[in-house]
């Protein structure tokens, strides 16, 4: 039996059998004169903004980009301490979620399992794919810990994917490593466990990625949108067993990484970029501590949940009042009251110290 079998056996058979689109850039190598991809030999310079014209590396925008640029894949693999074969670069981690749904869930038959309250895109991607959503709530009495035995029990044969978010959005806490591994171990050959680590840098704890080798049904999602401050770049990373990466490569759009994005992502994971990101994370973590402590003293705040992310979830006496007061001060927070079990809960993302002060000041007077 190959190590990939517990994962490949769960993939939609029609996807396994699919002959993927073979793009010109994938098929070609070498050569001097490229007449294979129906590109224009040049971009009229009047069509390019001055910033692009001044940037030599962007003067080939007339060409399709490399589908998975090897230098970016190698740099991301080094940063995440993985092998390049474990890496798929996507348009944000949202695209990774969507690809997984399409690879594993047959419309009208497959299902996913989520642990509410959690990130909303798992259910939305499931709805788009017409996959059922099985919910096993986190345990608020245990600081939103995952209910391991309930998850394993609820993972019926239709459930192909279990989404666990750690640190979890919107509650902010890490899931226990042992719990995630217990679930992945119990579901080996039955379902794939997707650990969404979008906020992991703010937790300062190691990724679960190290266990992908031992547990081929474990998938880790990362992103440059949060700690790296590059939400506008749309660069996400799916880390998984090479056989699963190969399948996702079959169904991803032919050219997902626009040329200007490649430059931005490479700069972010250069040594200088990493040092700057580290400093920015440190600052946001100290703001998180400061803001959490301040919020806890206000009459309108009932409880501040501990956070390992770049946001803080807090329970208030009246969410509508808090939202109105902050809005009047020009500050936009997120009312999470419609999330499972989060009536009168508000989420505040950590901004600059001045931005946070404006929010804190407004909440203090509710
Ligand atoms: C838990 C979680 N996962 C994934 C995403 C999507 O991130 P990306 O910008 O990489 O698509 C978000 C965005 O807020 C998120 O909160």
Pocket of ligand 1, beta carbon within 6 A? 92-94, 119, 165, 169, 196, 198, 223, 225, 231, 236
Q: What is the pLDDT of residues 70-83, one digit of tens each?
A: 999 999 999 999 99
CB 296 within 8 A of CB 307: no
Q: What is the CATH number of the domain that holds 339?
A: 3.90.1150.10
Residue 9 lies in a domain: yes
Q: Which residue from 3, 4, 73 is spatially nearest to 244, judged by alpha carbons?
A: 4
User: Which residue among 222, 252, 269 closes a domain?
Assistant: 269
Task: Show the beta-strand stretches assigned E in 233-325.
Answer: 236-239, 301-304, 311-316
Instruction: For residue 119, give the ligand 1 atom closest to its CA.
Output: 1
CB 268 within 8 A of CB 334: no
Residue 114 lies in a domain: yes
Whole-model pTM? Answer: 0.96
User: Which residue among 252, 269, 286 closes a domain?
Assistant: 269
Output the average pLDDT for the chain: 95
Domain count, the chain: 2
Q: What spacing in Å lies between the alpha carbon of 129 and ligand 1's midpoint?
A: 19
Rounded-to-integer distance, Cα 63 and Cα 260, Å: 12
Instruction: For residue 226, give the ligand 1 atom closest to its CA.
Output: 9
Q: Are residues 281 and 208 in the same domain?
A: no
Residue 53 lies in a domain: no
Q: Are residues 221 and 163 in the same domain?
A: yes
The average pLDDT across 343-362 equals: 98
Instruction: List beta partners, residue 335.
Output: 346
Q: Are residues 246 and 279 in the same domain?
A: no
Q: Are residues 235 and 300 in the same domain?
A: no
* Ligand 1 site-directed mutation target among 226, 257, 310, most atoms within 8 Å of CB: 226
CA-to-CA separations, 40 to 56, 323, 338, in angstroms, rounded:
18, 51, 49
Residue 243 lies in a domain: yes
Residue 203 lies in a domain: yes
Residue 190 lies in a domain: yes
CA-to-CA separations, 316 to 173, 214, 345, 351, 359, in angstroms, rounded:
19, 43, 6, 20, 14
What pLDDT score does 1 carry?
Answer: 62
What pLDDT score does 4 carry?
Answer: 84
For 131, the domain range is 5-23+64-269
Residue 262 lies in a domain: yes
Is 90 exceeded by the pLDDT of residue 36?
no
Q: What is the CATH number of the domain that holds 158?
A: 3.40.640.10
Ligand 1 atom 7 nearest Cα: 93
Ligand 1 atom 12 nearest Cα: 198
Q: Residue 351's CB: how many other CB atoms inside 10 A?
A: 16
Q: Are residues 264 and 278 in the same domain?
A: no
């Amino acid at each position: 039996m190959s190590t990939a079998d517990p994962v490949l056996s769960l993939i939609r058979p029609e996807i396994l059998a699919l002959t993927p689109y073979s793009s010109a850039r994938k098929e070609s190598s070498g050569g001097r004169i490229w007449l294979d991809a129906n590109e224009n030999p040049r971009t009229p310079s009047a069509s390019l903004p001055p910033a692009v014209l001044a940037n030599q590396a962007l003067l080939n925008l007339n060409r399709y980009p490399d589908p998975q640029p090897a230098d970016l894949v190698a740099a991301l693999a080094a940063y995440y301490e993985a092998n390049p074969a474990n890496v798929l670069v996507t348009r944000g981690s949202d695209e990774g979620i969507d690809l997984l749904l399409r690879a594993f869930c047959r419309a009208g038959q497959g299902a996913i399992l989520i642990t509410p309250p959690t990130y909303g895109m798992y259910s939305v991607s499931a709805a788009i794919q017409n996959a059922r959503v099985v919910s096993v709530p986190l345990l608020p009495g245990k600081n939103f810990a995952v209910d391991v035995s309930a998850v394993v029990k609820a993972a019926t044969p239709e459930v192909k994917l279990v989404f666990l978010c750690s640190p979890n959005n919107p509650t902010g806490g890490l899931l226990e490593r042992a719990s995630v591994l217990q679930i992945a171990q119990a579901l080996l050959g039955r379902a794939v466990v997707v650990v969404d680590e979008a906020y992991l840098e703010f937790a300062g704890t190691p990724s679960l990625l190290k266990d992908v080798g031992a547990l081929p049904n474990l998938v880790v999602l990362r992103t440059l949108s949060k700690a790296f401050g590059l939400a506008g770049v749309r660069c996400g990373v799916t880390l998984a067993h090479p056989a699963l990466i190969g399948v996702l490569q079959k169904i991803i759009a032919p050219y997902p990484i626009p040329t200007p994005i490649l430059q931005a992502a490479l700069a972010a994971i250069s040594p200088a970029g990493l040092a700057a990101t580290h400093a920015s994370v440190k600052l946001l973590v100290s703001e998180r501590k400061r803001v959490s402590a301040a919020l806890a003293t206000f009459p309108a705040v009932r409880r501040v949940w501990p956070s390992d992310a770049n946001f803080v979830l807090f329970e208030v006496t009246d969410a509508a009042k808090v939202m109105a007061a902050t809005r009047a001060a020009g500050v936009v927070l997120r009312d999470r009251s419609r999330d499972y079990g989060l009536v009168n809960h508000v989420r505040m993302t950590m901004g600059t110290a001045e931005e946070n002060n404006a929010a804190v000041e407004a909440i203090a007077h509710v």
